[in-house]
Structure 1
C-alpha cells in the first residue's frame, strides 16, 4: 500500500507518543432512557468529553420517525465542528428523491481523515458492518475501526471478529478496534483479538467507572445498561503501537441506553 501521508522525514528516536482522546458510544439512535429522541442532549454529552475522535454506533440518517427522520451523523458533526466518516450497515432506498434510509457507525474527528471504507460483516438478522478509517497525527497515523457486533449468537460474533481482524494487516502498526461488541472482553468469540490487540481498559493504569461506588463492581468499566451498568460490552482494543494512559466511563446524562467510554491513547510516532 502506498503511503497516503506522502514522504515525511523520519522522527527522532526520542520523539514522544502523540496523545489522542477517543470516545466510543452506542447512541441508541439518540433515544435516551426516558424514551425521548434528543439529539442536542446527545451532542452536549459528546462535546463535554473533549475528544479528538468519537466513534458512534446505532446512528440514523433519514431512518424514520424514531429519530425524527433527521440526518443524525451530519447534524452531530456540524454541532461539534468535526469531520465525518460514515459506515452504514443498513442502506435502503426511499421514495424521497436523493435520500436513502441508513443506519450504522460513524466517526467524528478533529484530525484529518485520510482513508475511510466500509466493510459488511457476515451474519444473519440485522446487518452489521465495520467502518475503517485512517487519521493523520503529527508525525504519525492511526487506524480506527468502528463496529457493532451481532446479538444473535457467539458463533456469529466470532465470524464477524475474524472478518474485522483481517482488515488490520501487519503494516498497520498503530490501530484501534472500537465499538459495541455485545460480549464480555474475555468471551471466547473475541479470542481472535488476543495477541494482536490488547483490551485498553485492562491496559490503562488510571481507570474510573460510573459504578465505582458499588464496591463489587468497582473499576469494571460497565457501560450497559445505562441506569445500572454491569456489562462491559463497549470496548477499545489497541495494537502494540498504541499505549493507554487513562480509561473512564462517562455519565451519559440519559442520552442513550449505553454509557460512553473515554480512552486516552498514546500513539507511537514514526510508524
Structure 2
C-alpha cells in the first residue's frame, strides 16, 4: 500500500479548492490535567470540532493501567464514526497476540483512506514513528503525515524532521505534515521542514486562541502546557498545493496536557 500515484494534469482555473478541516492533538493517552483517564470527555471534545481529519499523538492500545488497558484508537473511531489509520511507535506482543501493547499516532478520517503506512524514525530513547496516509477528496487527494518527535536532543529531532520531510515526494502535490514536534517552528532542527513545507499558522488568514483572554498570548498559537500555554510545539505544515483559511487553538476542556490545534485547509483540486 505504499505506491504513490503519478502526477496528474494541473487543474483548470474554474476548479475551486476543496475545504478540509483538520485537527492535531496530543491526547496524553486520554489523561487530562486532572489526572483522570476520560475517553468520553475526549470524544465529546473532538466531536464538537466537526473535523474531516483528526490527527492524534500519544494514543494507547492495550497499554496498561494508565489508560484502563483499552484500545483507545478503536474506541474513539467508533465513538466518532470515523475511519481509522494506526501508526504504532511502540509495539510489544503479549502472551495473547491479539492484544498487542501499542502506543503511537492515529488518524481518524471522515474521508476515505486510500493509503496508510508507518515509518520508524531514527533516534535513541523512546521509539518514534510517522504515520503517512492518503485520503480521497471529491476531485483530488491529500497526503497526511502525522508524527511525534523526540523530547531528547535537537540533533535527534533534526534527523527525525529530515526523515518525515522525505516521506513527501515530488508526485505528492498536496500534503500536510502535522504533530507534536517538541520544538518551536523556527527551531534550527526543523530546518528540513522549511525546504518542503510552510507553517500553516503563519499562512492562516484568520487566527485565534481560546487563551486570547490572556492578551499577551493572543493569536500566537501556543498549545503547551494546556493550563498555561507558552510554547507552540503542536503544528501543521502544508505543501504548495494547500492553502490555509484559518487556524485556531481551542480550549482543551482539560482533556490533555496539550491544547488542540484546528486548521481549515483549502486543497487544490484535480491533483
Question: Deviation of residue 212 (structure 1)?
Answer: 1.5
**SS of match in other structure, 1:193:** helix
Q: Which residue of 2 aligns with 1:210?
A: 210
The change in CA–CA distance for 1:33 and 1:116 in structure 2 (over 3 A counts) is same
CA distance in 2, matches of 1:10, 1:151: 40
Structure 2 counterpart of 1:236: 236
Aligned partners of 1:21 and 1:52 also within 8 Å:
yes
Aligned-pair Cα RMSD in Å: 1.6
Q: Which runs of 4+ in 1 moved over 6 A?
A: none
- Give the CA deviation at 1:11: 5.2
Shift of the 190–250 alpha-carbon distance from structure 1 to 2, 3 Å rule, reads same
**Residue 175 of structure 2 aligns with which residue?**
175
Contiguous gaps of at least 5 residues in structure 1: none
Identify the residue that residue 155 of structure 1 maps to in structure 2: 155
Maintained 8 Å contact 1:4/1:114 = no
In structure 2, the partner of 1:3 is 5
Corresponding residue of 2:104: 104
Q: Do structure 1's residue 265 and structure 2's residue 261 form an aligned pair?
A: no
Residue 191 of structure 1 aligns to a residue whose secondary structure is helix
The residue that corresponds to 1:253 in the other structure is 253
Deviation at 1:218, TM superposition (A): 1.4
> Which ranges of structure 2 fall in alignment gaps of 5 or more residues?
none
Q: Distance in 2 between matches of 1:4 and 1:39?
A: 40
Aligned residue in 2 for 1:15:
15
**Does structure 1 conserve the Cα–Cα contact (< 8 Å) formed by 2:211 and 2:251?**
no
Query: Matched residues in 2 for 1:9 and 1:240: separation?
Result: 16
Q: Tell me the SS of whatever aligns to 2:216.
A: coil
Matched residue of 1:216: which SS? Answer: helix
TM-score by length of 2: 0.96
1:11·1:139 contact (CA, 8 Å) conserved in 2? no
User: Does structure 1 conserve the Cα–Cα contact (< 8 Å) formed by 2:9 and 2:270?
Assistant: no
Partner of 1:35: 35
TM-score normalised by L of structure 1: 0.96
